[in-house]
Structure formats: structure tokens, C-alpha cells
Chain A
Amino acid sequence: MASKYLTGTGSESKQLATWYFTFAAILFGAQLLFGLVAAIQYVMPGFLYEILDFSIARMLHINALVVWMVFAMFGSVYWLLPDETGIETIGIKIGKLLFWIFAAAIVVVVLVFLFVQVGKADATTIWLITEGREYIEAPRWADWGIVVVALGFVGNLFLTGMKGRQTGIVTVLMADMIAFAGLYLAGMFFTDNISVDQYWWWWVIHLWVEATWEVFVGAIAAYGLIKMIGAHRQVVEMWLWIEVAMLFGSGILGLGHHYFWIGTPEYWWEIGALFSALEPLPLVAMFVHVLYDWGKTQGSEEEKGNTHSVINNKPAFTWFVLNAFGNFLGAGVWGFFHTLPQINLYTHGTQFTSAHGHLAFFGAYATILIGMFYIAVQGTNGIKVMKNTKASIWAVSLITGGMMGMTVALTIAGYVQVIVSRAQMGATWAAYFDGQSGMWFTQAMDWRLIMGILIFTGFIILAKDLLTTGKNPVHER
């Protein structure tokens, strides 16, 4: 069970949120560990060969990523619901039960991934061991478990949202979370046709991370601005609606940028190119919005003669600002780099994608969810103004610096692949390994590993800070 200082004060919904956050943080650590294993294997291919092969380490790396973020997202909603609706979350008992079911299922899936790894080419494997589809490898039984858990979660959100005060943030979250849960169904079937397989697979992956998750981040950022700097709700919610329009307007049909080369018709070149090219715009808007609201609120306080900072949670706000910038840089700029088909023809399936994936998942999601962890620490400890500690500054610097370094390293590796393996050599097996043996590529992989170690060190400090800062006497109570 969660230890004493991780339990909520007053609200059961917030207590449940801390459970979700705790489990999410543990999975975040697991994600980094398996990422390190995979990074070592690029440098030393014999490392754990036929014990914990790259495919398994990488599968655990990306699945832990998805699951910790989903846990932290559920936690965030349970955290903000009482604040937004003004009532205690309905169905919290079921919510708590579902948490334990979800957590237990995840543990079983991870153990099977670790110790069974692969199965025979039959339906039993798909049902019990792995579905073998990147990001959603969880076996079919777990899929159904996830559907049940997600339905319970969405049910609680809807019941609470409809009974309590229905703010713009809650309305957006309700619509967004039902789409988020419903889209998972698109990834739960088997077909012999790999083009059809990948068509629907992208419905889950893309419409999650480039549509529903982004809107979720918009809603959380809106909540955070009201909560942390006292931004004006009407202004924040207007921005939120504009962001929803822009994110969904570009993101839904931006799905087309995954349909360039998987057997789908040529018209997707055009749809995917132009709609996804617009995807960075709302991310610019979010960045402007966060900084603008900060400056505006601070300015109006100073006009009244108050010189103190309007931020009541420095570490969380640091992560929120990093989110605004990281989302734009990682998802926006790095995504735009290779979203046009004439470029994507050569970058598709190279480390370029990997560079974008790392910075986007980190910048758009990890940052804001870590920010939510800090908001929960502040709330459960009854802190009025939470300050940065040495540890929180070290953690954010090491993790962010490491992530930027890793992204640069992977981008350079991607250039080598594009130029040598793709453009020059024509994408064959031999071309692939010629690219992989290039000096730029191998050095980039060394740097990636070093950056990974920095990030992991940062994570240890972050975990320490999250566990201890609540009792630190520097904060104003």
C-alpha cells in the first residue's frame, strides 16, 4: 500500500490519484531501465543476447512508456475532478478496485513479456503472450482488461462531470477521454492483411498521441495555469477551445502522414502532408499561451504593488513550461522535419523517427505528467507555496539536458541512415548495415547511451525529490 505521505488529504479522489501517480512513477523508472538495456545493445550487440534481446527490452521500454503515461493521465483526472466539479468523484470505490485490477494486470503482462517473451505462431500466443504490434503488444486478454478499466474510469468521469459543476476543462476532458478509450478498440483484432493491420493500428497510435493525448495536455495545462498562477478561467478556457479546434482540426486528418507507404492510396500523400504540417500550430499557440498568461498574471499583481511571484508551485510550473516548449520542439519541430512525403520517403523507418519519438513523448507528455506529480505532492502535504529544491533543479536539468542530447544524437544517426542506407545504397539489408557501421552512426549511439545514463540519474534524483520534498521545511505552509 501507499505509504503515509502519499495518501491524499480529505478527498478520496485525490488519494486514488496519488496511487496512480506512484505506480506511474515506478513504471517510468522501468521504462528508463529497459531503454538503457536497449541503448547498451546498440553499442555492445552481445549484451544479454538471447537472454533479454533487443526486441524484448524495446517492447518493455515502449509499453512501460505508454502504460505509465496512461496511469498518470488517469491520476491527473482523478486529482483535478474534485477541484473542477466542486464535488467528490462518484464511484471512487469502483475506481480504487479498478486501479488494483489494472496494476495487477500490468504486472502479469510485464512478467510474461520478461520470462515467456515469444510464443508459437498461433492464436494462443496472441491471446496470452503478445500481440506483437508495436506499442500495443499487450495480449488480447489484457486488451479486454484495459477496456473494462477504461470504461470504469470514463464512467466515473462522466457521472462526476454531469452531477458537479461542468467547467470547460471538464467538458473537454469528458469528450476527449471517451474518444481516447474508444480508439483502443481499433487495435484489438487480427488480420492477415498487413496494410489493413497497420491502417487501424495507426488509428490507435496516432489518434492517441497526436490528437486525444494532445487535447488532454491542453486541458491539464489549463487546469495547471488556474491552479498554479491563478490565471483567469475564462481566458484559459477560451484558449483551450481554440487549441481543441486546432489540435483536432489538424491532428485527425494528419493521421494521413502514416498512410504514405503502407499500401494505402496515393491521395494520403496530400492529406497527410498538409494537415500534419499544420499540427505544430496549436503547439506554438500553447507555448505562447502559457508564457503569456504567466506574464499577464504577474504583471497585474505587480501593478497592485505585489512583488512576490504568482507561482505557488515552482517545480510543477517548471515542468509545465518545459511541456509547453518541449511539445512544440519535440512534437512540432521534430515532427515537421520529416512529415512531408518527399522527405519521409527517405526518413521513414530510420533513427529520425526515433529522435522525434523520444523528444515528443518527453516534451509533450512526460514533462506535464511529472508536473502533475509535483502538484499532487503539494496538495497532499498542504503546502501553500512550493519551492524548487536543489534536487528538483538537478532532476529537471539532468533529465531535460539528457533528453535534448539524446535527440540530437539520434537525429545525427538518422541523417547517416537516410544518406547512406536509403539515398545512396537503396535500402537493402547490406545498405542497412553499411549505414549502421558508419562512424557517425556508431558515435551517435555512444552519445545516446551516455545521455540515457544522465536521464536515469536525473530520474533517481527526481524520485528522491518527489518522495521527500513534501516534508521539506523550505516550503510555505
Chain B
Amino acid sequence: MFEPFTDVVPSFFGWLNQGPLTLTIFLHTVIILPMIWIYFQEKKRLENEN
């Protein structure tokens, strides 16, 4: 499942870099996911305002 590490120095980000997409999908996910929480918070706020 896990690819052998190829870069010179092992590191957390290097380890996440398992193929052409793993690292960037991880980073995009952690950036985008909390927006869901912001969305529902704002939705609640808008409902309360009405």
C-alpha cells in the first residue's frame, strides 16, 4: 500500500507524497473541510436573523 520513500531526507510531507496526488489531496481537504462548518454556522445565523 505504501510506496517506498524516494527523496533524500525523510519527512512528514515527503511521506504523504505517496504518488502524484496524495499530498495535494490531503492539503486541499484540510483547507476545504472546515468551510462546511463555517457554512452551517452561517446558515444558523441567517435563520436566527429571520
Which residues on the B side are within 8 Å of A267 (C-beta)?
7, 11, 13-14, 16-17, 23
Interface flags for A334-356 (1: CB within 8 Å of B; 0: not) read 00000000000000000000000
Per-residue CB contact flags for chain A residues 134-157 toward chain B (1 = under 8 Å, else 0) read 000000000000000000000000
Contact residue among A249, A265, A266, A275 (Cβ-Cβ distance under 8 Å from B24): A275
Given contacts A265-B11, A265-B14, contact A270 B6 (CB under 8 A): no
Chain B contacts with A in 11-46, Cβ cutoff 8 A: 11, 13-14, 16-17, 20-24, 27-28, 31
Q: Are A265 and B21 in contact (CB under 8 A)?
A: no
**What is the total of A-B residue contacts with beta carbons within 8 Å?**
35
| A249 vs B24: C-alpha distance when bound (angstroms) | 13
Q: Which residues of A contact B11 (CB under 8 A)?
A: 265, 267
In the bound assembly, the distance between CA atoms of A275 and B31 in angstroms comes to: 12
**A333 contacts the other chain (CB 8 A):** no
- Please tell me if B9 contacts chain A, counting CB pairs below 8 Å: yes
Q: Which of A253, A266, A270, A275 has the most CB of B within 10 A?
A: A270
Instruction: Name the residue of chain B whose CB is nearest to the CB of A278.
Output: B28
Which residues of chain A are within 8 angstroms of B22 by Cβ–Cβ distance?
270
A271 within 8 A of B: yes
Decide if B1 is an interface residue (CB 8 Å cutoff). Answer: no
Which bucket holds chain A's interface residue count? 10 to 19
Query: A274 touches which one: B7, B14, B21 (CB < 8 A)?
Result: B21
Contact B6 A271 (CB under 8 A): no
Find out whether the CB atom of A266 lies under 8 angstroms from the CB atom of B27. Answer: no
Tell me the bound Cα distance from A267 to B23 in angstroms: 8
Residues of B within 8 A of A273 (CB): 24
Chain B residue with Cβ nearest A245: B35
Decide if A271 touches B24 in the complex (CB within 8 Å).
yes
Give the secondary structure class of A's interface.
Answer: helix
The complex places the Cα of A5 from the Cα of B20 at a distance, in Å, of 58
> Assuming A265-B8, A265-B9, A265-B13, is B20 touching A270 (CB within 8 A)?
yes
* Nearest neighbor of B15 in chain A, beta-carbon distance: A267
Cβ–Cβ contact B23 & A270, under 8 A: yes
A382 to B11, CA, bound (A): 62
Name the A residues within 8 Å of B27 (CB-CB).
253, 271, 275
CB distance from B47 to the nearest CB of A (A): 19
Q: Which one of B14, B21, B28, B31 lies within 8 Å of A266 (CB-CB)?
A: B14
A275: chain B residues at CB < 8 Å are: 24, 27
Closest to B22 in A: A270
Q: Bound state CA distance, A274 and B31, in angstroms?
A: 14
Nearest CB on B from A449, distance (A): 41
A-B contact pairs, 26 of them (CB 8 A): A249-B31, A253-B27, A265-B8, A265-B11, A265-B13, A265-B14, A266-B6, A266-B7, A266-B14, A266-B17, A267-B7, A267-B11, A267-B13, A267-B14, A267-B16, A267-B17, A267-B23, A270-B21, A270-B22, A270-B23, A270-B24, A271-B24, A274-B21, A274-B24, A275-B24, A275-B27
B positions within 8 Å CB-CB of A: 6-9, 11, 13-14, 16-17, 20-24, 27-28, 31
